Chains A and B, each alone.
Chain A
Amino acid sequence: MTSQRLAYTYLSDHQREAIDSWRARFPDHDQGRQSAVIQALHIAQEGNGGWLSQQMLDAVADYLELTPVRVYEVATFYSMFHLHPVGRHKVNICQNISCMLCGSDELVRHIEQHLGIGLGETTADGRITLVPEDECLAACTGAPMMLVDEHYYTDLTPEKATAILDSLE
């Protein structure tokens, strides 16, 4: 086969530049470049509608000169990387101990009903994906809470939560 670099097919100039800036912070050997995988995956995911396709993972591996499985390991380990298409907004309702004690179960039920989808699903209009149960989001003082894209919304009631979700484009 004539080798065609995946990195140049699937990653934009801008993305490769952003990855370069992370890559430059670590030593230039296998393990060093491995340190840049998380940031590179964030950059790739952001430019790909919020999820990472197989090609994207391979492109990141190619660009960081790592064997693909090193990237697959990281991408499957962290729940902030999505390996299937997602909606325009990712909503993660914390259900760990503090939030659970403060009523996250009811919150989830209400939101599921309101949007007509379950956890792990995306609304038909492609607007919202409900991210499945995650680790504690470290905002116990404001329980129950949820993460919408990169913003924390704390001290939620079912009504407050649906209002926030309805305001999303």
Chain B
Amino acid sequence: MSANPEQPDDQVTITIDGAEYQASKGATIIEVADANGVDIPRFCYHPKLTAPANCRMCLVDIEMNGKAAPKPMPACITAIGDGMVVRTESERAVSAQRNVMEFLLINHPLDCPICDQGGECELQDLALGYGRGISRFTERKRVVDDEDLGPLVETEMTRCIHCTRCVRFLDEIAGTSELGALHRGEHTEIGTFVGRGIHSELSGNVIDLCPVGALTNKPYRYTARAWEMLSHPTVGPHDAIGSNISLHQVRGTVKRVVPRNNEAVNETWIADRDRYSYQGIYAEDRLQEPIARDGDKWQAMDWQEALESVAGRLKEVAAQDPSQIAAWVSPSATLEEQYLLNRLMRGLGSDNVDVRLRQADTRDGDSPSPGLGMPIAATEDVDAALLVGSHTRHDQPLLNHRLRKAGLNGAHIMALDTRRHDWNYELSEELVAHPDQLARELALIAAAMAAYVGRGVVEGLHAYTGGAEPGDNHKRVAQRLVDAGSALVMSGDAVELHQGGADLRALTALIAELAGAHHGQLGTGANAFGGWIAGAVPYRGADGSPARGMSVAETIADPRRCYVVVNLEPEHDCFDGAAARRALEAAETVVVFSPYVTEAMREYADVILPIGAFGETAGTFVNAEGRWQTFAGVGRPIGEARPAWRVFRVLGNLLSLDRFEYNAPDEIHAELQGLWERQGNPSNGGWQGRPAEPWLGHGSLVRAGNTAIYGTDPLVRRGEALQRTPHAGAARPTLSPATAQQLGVNDGDWISLDQGGPSVRLQASVDDALADSTVWLPAGLEGTAGLGPVHGPINIQRT
């Protein structure tokens, strides 16, 4: 019975430290206290993890129905009751907390002066309030051997207080269960036991969770103190989630990256890619000043001279035939950069500007826009999802985290790709097919679905099914998607890279439509959706007007005389690195805007202009759900480098283009926002926009792949610590056992591979996760730069 007749049944009233609070039944004391700003000390409790109540720091005094509990109770697992009276500062509660603190400090070293956690340590903070001035402990403290957990997380396990937050994080959030609490009592140690290290793509979060200095940031170690750094809010530059992060800097140098809370986007987590890629800002190959080719030599020049020379070259080509100019721009460039580049190109008379570096097939040209088609936070509540060509765990780690939550709650998460992937939860169905057969598989799902919903025969589907009947697996996928209250059908990176990608996207759209599901299309890059909005696509201006330019794929197949390349390395970032490089090498004029200068660039470029890297420029990213997130620059760009928007603005002035008088990125932002708000919601492609003829397939041994998690863009490829994880390093071409046997290849053999150009020598893997006649070989890894299309025919020879 409720004490208060006005109170809803699911609400109770409790008193904490004399003040009354209303809260939902089933809440714990610590949740109510946190929600109302009452401070209860804690170590093991974390709102995103289960509560084991093992640190005992949150002991509070409780009284129920006028009767005091016989001893203090842990606030983190004690559920509230109506009329409960909680005292967090009673003599008994505080004495219990002080006693717990004394025990915690018994074995904790007094090495705060050399501990990275010093100054931001939960133990240090609480010791100030609850610790004794002088220790009564005169015995020896225990010492724990450190384990090497890999290049990202540093250990100093003697400092560990066994709160087990890291263990629970890897269990419950990362899903990898790599750490455990080993041994017992005083001998308890947190570790892997076998020295395997931790490899989760979210592993860095254990650093933030660790309340002491046991787990700290390895690359950041000893480089700064918490109190001397300034924190700048910004946005993760690698995936379509747009995780909210803070850069911590000292005198303009970024020292580390930490997450910012945003429940709608990244909750309180970030992927390791967003945490450690900042090291790329300080890579050795940063370009310090503009340089131009002078015969066989490279000449440094000042900005004025360099920009005038670029403007002159562009004008010259434009005067003859503007369609001979093509611009390739990174999908992780800011909205403002993409928009100004679009305006520059269109001002010159060319519509050939594109951010879709990895899209091999643009036959569906003007129909699809990238995006998730639903709010990111809502994906954790779907009842079913079909992920086509998406290893979401690596492509969009925090989207995978949401889908994993849905999956663990009973949703049917299903996938179709050319291989099974290493998921961190169990999928309901994982279909594997040869790249040539992916369209057929989707068509069979669509056919099963049409039958299930009573739609009869879908026009055009027969061309893909070839008259085959759906199997039980197709029917299961179809029925689960239709029966779901909320469902997501999404295509990923491998679909972008697929040479029949337009068919796959149309079929994915058809399945979403038949199922009444949300439809998503996510490639790589932090701002692919932004590129679309900014009009940095060849078939669409920023105001939504249609255009008829050439895509990246088309300007590779039909090379132009002049290229403008913005913040990318074609050999890694284009769907066909070899062909992209050939096109650049054959061009008369190549202007590169890049924070870095590589040997390859010196071979194909004529002028290379240094632009600000991530963190050195202000701008906006639009994430997968269409959220515009604006951030400021943190430090000055290195050397003479300048933010790209500023360079484009000056170039616009030199080319005498109209309306290029921007003083700050927010003016560009506001102008574009105005254009965007006048347009309706983008269509996300559809079955009607399918290609006239299905793509026929290669019918041979085919390379398939996606973009490696730490190979997505120039910045992360220079993240030195990330590159030392097992997710990076030399590529391992992977074959199915049957295909390997056919080719006489064994696991671990060195093989030479070529796609019509120069061959590379790599060590093969054999894995039954793969479809037959397929070589899995992702882009963005060491050894893949000289190869041809990520999806395309490949030759293998044993060496």
Contacts and interface: CB of A to CB of B under 8 A. Distances in A.
Nearest to B178: A69
Contact of A67 (B177, B737, B747): B177
A73 B182 contact: yes
B19 interface: no
Contacts of A1: 747, 765-767
B297 interface: no
B635 interface: no
A68 B178 CA distance: 8
B285 interface: no
B1 interface: no
Given A54-B194, A69-B192, A2 B180 contact: no
Contacts of B178: 67, 69
A48 interface: no
Interface in B178-225: 178-184, 192-194
Interface of A: 1-3, 54, 67-70, 72-73, 76-78
A53 to B, nearest CB: 12
B183 A2 contact: no
A73 B180 contact: yes
Nearest to A79: B184
B747 A76 contact: no
B183 A76 contact: yes
B39 interface: no
Given A73-B180, A76-B182, A68 B194 contact: yes
Contacts of A2: 737, 747, 766-768
Contacts of B194: 54, 68, 72
Nearest to B176: A67
27 contacts: A1-B765, A1-B766, A2-B737, A2-B747, A2-B767, A54-B194, A67-B176, A67-B177, A67-B178, A68-B194, A69-B180, A69-B192, A69-B193, A70-B177, A72-B182, A72-B193, A72-B194, A73-B180, A73-B182, A76-B182, A76-B183, A76-B184, A76-B193, A77-B182, A77-B183, A77-B184, A78-B184
A52 to B, nearest CB: 12
Contact of B181 (A3, A67, A73, A78): A73
A69 B765 contact: no
Contacts of B767: 1-2
Interface residues of B, number: 18
Closest 7 CB pairs of A and B: A69-B180, A67-B177, A72-B193, A73-B180, A76-B182, A76-B183, A77-B184
Nearest to A58: B194
A54 B184 CA distance: 19
Contacts of B747: 1-2
Contacts of B766: 1-2
Interface of B: 176-184, 192-194, 737, 747, 765-768
Contacts of B768: 2-3
B177 A69 contact: yes
A72 B765 contact: no
B179 A69 contact: yes
Chain B's interface: helix, strand, loop or mixed, by majority? loop
A42 to B, nearest CB: 18
Nearest to A73: B180
A108 to B, nearest CB: 21
B288 to A, nearest CB: 45
Most chain B CB inside 10 Å of its own CB: which residue of A2, A69, A72: A69
B749 to A, nearest CB: 14
B164 to A, nearest CB: 11
A8 to B, nearest CB: 16
A104 B494 CA distance: 69
A67 B765 CA distance: 24
B175 to A, nearest CB: 9
Given A54-B194, A69-B193, 14 more contacts: A1-B747, A1-B765, A2-B737, A2-B766, A2-B768, A67-B178, A68-B193, A69-B178, A69-B179, A73-B182, A76-B183, A77-B182, A77-B184, A78-B184
A70 B177 CA distance: 8
B737 A70 contact: no
Nearest to B175: A67
A53 B180 CA distance: 18
Nearest to B734: A1
Nearest to A72: B193
Contacts of B192: 69
A73 B768 CA distance: 31
A77 B193 CA distance: 12
B180 A70 contact: yes
Contacts of A3: 768
B680 to A, nearest CB: 47
Nearest to B170: A69
A137 to B, nearest CB: 17
Contacts of A76: 182-184, 193
Contacts of B737: 2
Nearest to B183: A76
A72 B190 CA distance: 11
A6 to B, nearest CB: 13
A70 B766 CA distance: 29
A72 B565 CA distance: 52
Contacts of A78: 184
A67 B196 CA distance: 13
A72 B194 CA distance: 9
B51 to A, nearest CB: 16
Contacts of A73: 180-182
B734 to A, nearest CB: 10
A54 B182 CA distance: 14
Nearest to B187: A76
A113 B178 CA distance: 43
- Identify which of B180, B184, B194, B767 gathers the most chain A CB atoms within 10 Å of its CB: B180
A111 to B, nearest CB: 25
A36 B560 CA distance: 67
A54 B765 CA distance: 25
A112 to B, nearest CB: 23
Contacts of B765: 1
Of B182, B737, B747, most buried by chain A (CB within 10 Å of CB) is: B182
Nearest to A78: B184
Nearest to A67: B177
Contacts of B183: 76-77
A73 B767 CA distance: 30
Contacts of B177: 67, 69-70
A68 B765 CA distance: 24
Nearest to A1: B767
B466 to A, nearest CB: 32
